[in-house]
Structure 1
């Protein structure tokens, strides 16, 4: 097993990509701190994983002291910490005309500042274990869509933090920091969000090839499989890297002029 006996914090793991990561990590031998906002869903995840393999904290990651409480829970339960997966995020639409100070502060607080503070809180234990951090970004970090301004800014900042810490922490402390940027992933939250935009229940079954050359979106479980590599010893000394996980090249892509498109995010 590729993560045998490693203790991993996965934020935002009561649903979606985070839940898939937690489940895959345990299947590879890890112990996981499950975190999120939905107590009933979190309890279900822990039940599925087994109480010997998982422990739950329900709290907004941007609350004062929340990162410290996550770390303390891992240490209290298993006595060590090997990895942090910064997955929790708010995905919310905004443009230059409707992004006010409170809104962008909230997005940055959860998507960018909280991951930095969690790394800070975990650092003494990650140094001891020569551990790893994996930040879950987004292909929107490279610029983003016009109606995802604040979200794109937050993921771009996260990417810069990954590059910065991936160099300094590994060089000085032996802690690796990397990032993956998922593209469009089919999760229960994404299905529900698109329905609020007026799309039909089966919107994801007939996607334009411009957005899904495979004829479908990426599955959360496929992202989770990739995560294992970055948390395992197989990735060796690789640090400070950002890898896009999408069906097509995000930068330099040729979009057909006659593409039958629907809103991406």
Structure 2
């Protein structure tokens, strides 16, 4: 039997990238999933890939106050229960103290920290019943962040504190585990597109400097999904309130490149 057999899992932001890879891995491990995103065509394509018997699609902007409960209700209606939530969807964008106004900062905090909290809150009665699991997808930028990723980095730092706080509280009071994955630099569709828009060649990721990629390549979404599958599975045991940094070098304390302006986005 697969280790996620019959588990019902919400994965936000799962029509592309890391979220889609996690949803695919969950189904491969025996789970049923709620696919969520903003692009109807990509969502429908994802459901076809996973099989309609394994996946239900919800298209909804997470800024909508009704979104958290809508996701939870969709899972229970489609599959009868809810075992886990993966808060993967995020607002991504640049900004520093000169370019970030209050509206942009608040948007980052709302989508990247407040919304995951509200989804957890809406899901908690069902997760308590199944002694479920929550994964928040953060970023290694949570510890400080690149110069032009200030509001994004702060929002992921806030998410990390939320994970540690609820990871303790919900485990003791509800039997629900809460953990976080902080990916490093991952080759997603959106990351590839952003780099092409910045003027890099089509295969820019083929020969990256060792300072960024000691292994000669950056991470793949499937490698993030492998960690997520373990955290969602019962074999993870009582582990809760932990943050897992998935990067190929020690992110904190590492000697930066001489030209810090060349540091890539994550």
TM over 0.5: yes
Residue correspondence of structure 1 range 59-78 to structure 2 within 5 A: 59-78=60-79
Deviations 1:18-54 (A, max 9, x none): 0000000000000000000111001000001001000
Superposition map of 1:74-113 within 5 A = 74-113=75-114
Provide the residue aligned with 2:134 in structure 1.
133
Task: Note the C-alpha offset of 1:261.
Answer: 8.0
Query: Pairwise mapping of residues 1-265 of structure 1 onto structure 2 (< 5 A)?
Result: 1-255=2-256, 257=258, 262-265=262-265
What's the CA shift string for 1:127-159, capped at 9, x where partnerless?
Answer: 000000000000000000010001001100000
Q: Is the 8 A contact 2:35 2:43 kept in 1?
A: yes
In 2, distance between residues paired with 1:59 and 1:263?
33
Contact 1:136 1:179 in 2 (8 A): yes
- Structure 2 residues without counterparts, runs of 5 or longer: none
- SS of the equivalent of 2:86 reads strand
Q: CA deviation at 1:262?
A: 3.3
Distance 2:22 2:190 in 1: 16
* Shift, 1:205, TM fit: 1.2
Superposition deviation, residue 256 in structure 1: 5.6
Q: For 1:90 and 1:200, how far apart are their aligned partners in 2?
A: 25
| Structure 1 spans left out of the alignment, 5+ residues | none
1:254 CA drift (Å): 2.8
In structure 2, what is the Cα distance between the partners aligned to 1:181 and 1:131?
21
- How many residues align? The count is 264
Q: Provide Cα deviations, 1:146-176, integer angstroms capped at 9, x if missing partner.
A: 1000100110000000000000010111110
Q: Is the 8 A contact 1:210 1:261 kept in 2?
A: no
Q: Secondary structure at the match of 2:212?
A: coil
After TM superposition, give the deviation of residue 60 of structure 1 in Å: 0.9
Contact 2:146 2:263 in 1 (8 A): no
Q: Shift of residue 194 of structure 1? A: 1.2
- 1:146 aligned counterpart, secondary structure: coil
Q: Relative to 1, partners in 2 of residues 1:235 and 1:99: Cα closer, same or farther, differing over 3 Å?
A: same
Query: Any conservation in 2 of the 1:208–1:261 contact (CA below 8 Å)?
Result: no
Distance in 1 (CA, whole Å) between partners of 2:192 and 2:82 is 34
State the Cα distance separating 1:9 from its structure 2 match.
0.1
Between the aligned partners of 2:136 and 2:63, the Cα distance in structure 1 is 16
Question: Over aligned residues, Cα RMSD in angstroms?
Answer: 1.2
Q: Give, in whole Å, the separation in 2 of the partners of 1:92 and 1:173.
A: 35
In the TM superposition, what is the alpha-carbon distance from 1:62 to its structure 2 partner?
Answer: 1.9
Poorly superposed stretches of 4+, deviation over 3 Å: 259-263
Cα separation, 1, equivalents of 2:109 and 2:171: 25
Please give the secondary structure, in 2, of the residue aligned with 1:186: coil
Listed one character per residue, the Cα deviations across residues 87-146 of structure 1 (whole Å, up to 9, x for unaligned) are 000110101111101111111111111100000000000000000000000000000001
Aligned partners of 2:107 and 2:204: how far apart in 1?
29
Deviations 1:4-24 (CA, angstroms, capped at 9, x unpaired): 000000000000000000000
Distance in 2, Cα, partners of 1:57 & 1:95: 33
